[in-house]
A = this chain, B = another copy of it.
Amino acid sequence: MVVNIDRLFSKRATRFRSSEIRELLKLTQIPGMISFAGGLPNPLAFPVDIIHECIEKIFKENIEQALQYGTTEGLTSLRGVLAERMKKNPHHHINCELHDILITSGAQQALSLAAICFLDPGDTYLTSVPAYLGAVQAFHALEANCESIPMNDEGIDTDSLRRNIGRLNRTGIIPKFIYTVPTFQNPSGETMSLSHRKELLDIASEYDFLIIEDDPYSELIFEGDAIPPIKSFDTKGRVIYISTFSKILAPGLRLGWVVASKEILDKFIQAKQASDLCTNGFSQYIAYEYINGGYLDKHVEQIKKLYKRKRDLMLKSLKEYFPSGVKWTMPKGGMFIWITLPKSIDTRLMFQKALAKKVAYVVGEAFFPEGGNYNSMRLNFSYSEDGLIKEGIKRLAEVIKDELATAYQQDTFPPDGV
């Protein structure tokens, strides 16, 4: 008998949709393509020799433990050095101990655990938009409803946030949490101001929802002072802080971590146990040796130098080649620049033309769970070779100019054909 698979899939599985990031990452493989689409770290940023050294040390000292099953919470020694570092590091200033930390299989798993532990079907969560796709996908997988809060120059529009919560409350809906990337946000590159961080925590406290603070990029700061994470002001366990080794060590090692209250961490640990039992032990030992050997702080300086140069190159090329009427963010760190084109351009329709000229971006709409913002795009500056950044922006500028010219003709052509 043929399998009647549609009867067998869960309701949530029937709602799954393919991710645009996934399809876009495939494009980075086409020969000759200059891709600003993927959110990949540059391989030059991987501390290959240091990792090699760390591995030799593991083979001498801890290889059996590194290859065995470990506890779900994660390697005690790694959690210990992470706690120490977070207390001291100006990008963290989070006062925590090792038992406040859970090691996860990448930050994505932390987002997935949050979805599992907080979202029943039909529950509502808030996110600033544009929003990181992977988070939206994790929350969508658990059949939650998304309420989008626009961003402004200070990182989040708190007036709009209050209005939205008020409107939801009047219909009996209390959101479970707000998701935000306050520093060098993916995709916008923008950073939330200190006052807005504090105000966001106040609002969350007033209406009693949680804050999921996703912080993959704060260490990649090129200029200005570090702004402490929201978690550093949190005395009540209202903030779930998530970070990752993907941008300061290597994403292939799949290591992230969570700092949260004991009550929340206990549930996350139980959910993680059902999800994958424990995190890769070998990777955890590498990360431990990387921090404990004093390599991390030095190597992050190298990554910052590399990415700052690439950001400068991209900003310079944007200024040189992009036509007037196009706006972009000026990120002080991270990996992304957000482009806003004149309203006449639809980046979804322009995408195939860009591909034809062998340059790729992510259409802005992908970062808006409720759609819209068709005239925007995300550019990644960390991955491409220096020479290709200039060439890629030049190509993209030509595509945009062509598109503007066509749009202009269409707009000005007399409507009745005269």
Contacts and interface: CB of A to CB of B under 8 A. Distances in A.
Interface of A: 1-5, 7-13, 16-19, 22, 25-26, 38, 40-41, 43, 46, 48, 51-52, 55, 59, 63-72, 105-106, 108-109, 112, 115-120, 123, 134, 137-138, 140-142, 174, 176-177, 205-206, 208-210, 236-238, 246, 250-254, 261, 263-264, 267, 270-271, 273-283
Contact of A108 (B68, B177, B277, B282): B277
Given A1-B206, A67-B253, A237-B3, A9 B283 contact: no
B16 A270 contact: yes
B10 A116 contact: yes
A212 to B, nearest CB: 11
Contacts of A13: 116-118, 267, 270-271
B48 A68 contact: no
Given A1-B208, A119-B10, A59 B48 contact: yes
A51 B67 contact: yes
Nearest to A136: B274
Contact of A3 (B11, B208, B283): B208
A120 B25 contact: no
A273 B274 CA distance: 17
B279 A254 contact: yes
A278 B261 contact: no
A71 B38 CA distance: 12
A137 B273 contact: yes
Given A5-B264, A141-B270, 17 more contacts: A2-B236, A8-B118, A8-B210, A9-B117, A10-B118, A11-B120, A18-B270, A22-B273, A38-B69, A41-B68, A46-B63, A68-B251, A108-B275, A108-B277, A134-B277, A280-B283, A282-B283
A274 B133 CA distance: 10
A112 B276 contact: yes
Contacts of A25: 69, 71
A238 B3 contact: yes
B271 A116 contact: no
A12 B116 contact: yes
Nearest to A45: B67
Contact of A64 (B46, B55, B64, B253): B46
Contacts of A134: 273-274, 277
Q: Which of A10, A38, A109, A177 has the most CB of B within 10 A?
A: A10
A368 B226 CA distance: 53
25 contacts: A1-B208, A1-B236, A3-B237, A8-B118, A8-B209, A9-B118, A13-B270, A16-B267, A22-B72, A22-B273, A46-B64, A48-B64, A55-B55, A67-B252, A67-B253, A68-B251, A105-B105, A106-B276, A112-B276, A115-B274, A134-B273, A141-B274, A253-B281, A254-B278, A283-B283
A35 to B, nearest CB: 13
B120 A267 contact: no
Contact of A43 (B17, B67, B117, B263): B67
B208 A4 contact: yes
Q: Which of A138, A209, A275 has the most CB of B within 10 A?
A: A275
A81 B273 CA distance: 29
Contacts of A1: 205-206, 208, 236
A165 to B, nearest CB: 14
Chain A to chain B: the 10 pairs with minimum beta-carbon distance, closest first: A252-B281, A67-B250, A16-B270, A141-B274, A43-B64, A67-B252, A13-B117, A108-B277, A254-B280, A109-B276
A302 to B, nearest CB: 15
A134 B72 CA distance: 13
Contacts of A120: 10-12
Contacts of A237: 3, 5
Contact of A40 (B68, B106, B279, B283): B68
A269 to B, nearest CB: 9
